[in-house]
Chains A and B, each alone.
Chain A
Amino acid sequence: MGIKGVSLSLLCMSLLTATSGWAAEIHGRSSTQFESFINDMTGGQRQSELNEYLRFSITDIDKAGKFSLYGYGRAGQDFSNGEGLNGRLYYLYGDYRDLYNKVDFKIGRQFVNLAAGSAIIDGIQVDLKNVGPVAFSILGGRDVLFGLNGEIGPAGNTAMGAAAYLTGFKKTDAEVSWFRKYDRTDVSRDILGGSFKQQLLNCLNVYANGRYDLVSETFQEFQAGMKYFPTSGLIFTGEFFQSYPQFDTTSIYSVFAVDRYQEGVLRVDYNYNDKISFNAGLSHENFGEGANAFVWRVGTGLRIIEPLKFNFEFDDRNGYYGKTNGILADLTFDIDKKSQVSAGLDYDVYQRDAMTGDEIARRYWVAGKYKLAKNMAVSGRLEDDVNVTYTKNISGRFVFDYDF
């Protein structure tokens, strides 16, 4: 599939030369990226790769402007580690809208999303709208999974689903859906999903969503929460989440007893104009049979001096299975309208158990970007990872972006 994906991407690129004969509009981005990194998967050898990303949209293909084509993929060549050519086709689909002002079609490889499940499929999605307060979606196709070096999973795996959702209600959202996956001819996942959101009193948002597993007859995931926003810059969040691990019916693990995971979250997020933001949160995690953990987080974003922006996050976890605490910090400076430099640090202290003691992992990075023209830019990033495995691990990328 890696080679097929490359061929398809090249085919689409060839369409660009035909633009002068069409009324259609073609837009997109080409991003050429040179990357150098240590590949742990091939015994810690340095790998140098050239990757080409292409994303395009072709709109107004027909006179009525209802048909469009969208695509996004990546093709790459390894020059040093013997991994050769590889690629990913993320999506390539035709989109036809407003058939009789009621039906939208998407045909091809696409990302589909329902409350009951999401997937990348090679197939079709049909949406029926403008038929009252409820709209409908139905979708199905081959289930596409990406692994480390290409597509994985049998070619015969499929996914299908259907949804009904409220439309035309300004302050209420509701959706019920069903999602099923096939492992060749066996039904591997069978899920009902629901999502609900209601805005109240101009300052309150209550929401809930869940996935009900028809095989184990349990709520695989359930989330309920409330957001209180007294001003346009302040949000208080309280949320409850619980889940059970889920397995394909074709896996022996689907028959095992498992504990329920539960999590409670309290957060506050505050933005003061565009210059200062602050957030803090506390999570309590329950893994079952008395195992618990607490995670608390604080963060801030500062842009007090206009061309300079500083972001900082700290989190601390204590409890079951190990403790960690760490920071993410980065500083960005806009030199002028065309150029930007940035630098950052990830610093994490972690302990797997009492016998291992503390380990420290650090990542230092610097980066820069320069706009050559309105539609062209170059950027680069260099980083050094220092951790239990490496005292020095330099990696980097150089990117050329062209918008059309």
Chain B
Amino acid sequence: MLFICTLLLLSAMYVSQATAEKQPHKEYAELKLSECNDCHKGEGIALNHDSDWVRSHRSIAGKAGSNCSQCHTQSFCLDCHQGGGINADLSTANFGRDFVPKSHRSDFVQLHPIKALDNPQSCYHCHDQKFCTACHDRFPRGSFRIKSHLTNGTSQTFTWTSEHSSEARRNLQSCQTCHPDGEVCLRCHSSKAGARINPHPRNFQGGNISSRTNKTCRLCH
């Protein structure tokens, strides 16, 4: 009896919701945002395109079936995500020939190691890892201020042993920018040679990798 009532209730809810479809937005593309938000509030729909929109638009835009294309062409997204500049306003800066979002401010070449740690995955919404390596490959390896890469006082030894493991676990993607093939890691973390230190996490599912590629495991095993 409970099951039948639940089924009937869900069907009734579906019918009432289905008849209240989402409003097409194309004709409202030129409206002021305050007018959009007045309508949204009246309908009980969350406000958006606010001052937090650059950070939060992903939860609405990053899915199939989003209605962004009713007002925006793909160039609107790609100008920000891929450095285009056909719609750039006066406040948008360049990095060479590419246009950059506001987050890439002042001396971002120097700032980005710190800024990139504010949500480390945010860089990868626009840049492939090869983009990082293409730039880092051009600079001398010893010029970066990474704690584990600094000499120990006046000696020739590095503060490597005590620091690199936690630094690497917290930000392994930054290691990859200078060491894209990980050859330096394999000196110690291979089962074939060196210190043979196990790099795998607990519950490591090696079979998931070997079923998809036969290249990676063979580097060490």
Contact = CB atoms under 8 A, between A and B. Distances in A.
A240 interface: no
Contacts of A251: 176, 182, 216
Contacts of B209: 215, 249, 254-255
A135 B217 CA distance: 39
Interface string B145-174: 101000000000000000000101111110
A380 B52 CA distance: 28
Contacts of B185: 252, 256
Contact of B135 (A148, A165, A205): A148
Given A350-B111, A361-B107, A147 B131 contact: yes
B51 interface: yes
- Which label, helix, strand, loop or mixed, suits the secondary structure of the A interface? strand
Residue among A57, A135, A183, A227 with most chain B CB within 10 A: A227
B134 interface: yes
Interface residues of B, number: 106
A257 B201 contact: yes
Given A186-B213, A205-B46, A227-B46, A197 B59 contact: yes
B124 to A, nearest CB: 8
Interface stretch (A3-11, A15-23, A381-389): A381-389
Given A231-B41, A258-B201, A261-B119, A91 B74 contact: yes
B212 interface: yes
Contact of A232 (B41, B52, B181, B213): B41
B18 A252 contact: no
Nearest to B206: A255
B208 A389 contact: no
B105 A252 contact: no
B59 A113 contact: no
A330 to B, nearest CB: 5
B44 A171 contact: yes
B70 interface: no
State the 3 A-B residue pairs at the shortest beta-carbon distance, nearest first.
A361-B107, A202-B44, A205-B46
7 contacts: A39-B96, A137-B65, A168-B17, A186-B213, A231-B41, A255-B206, A352-B145
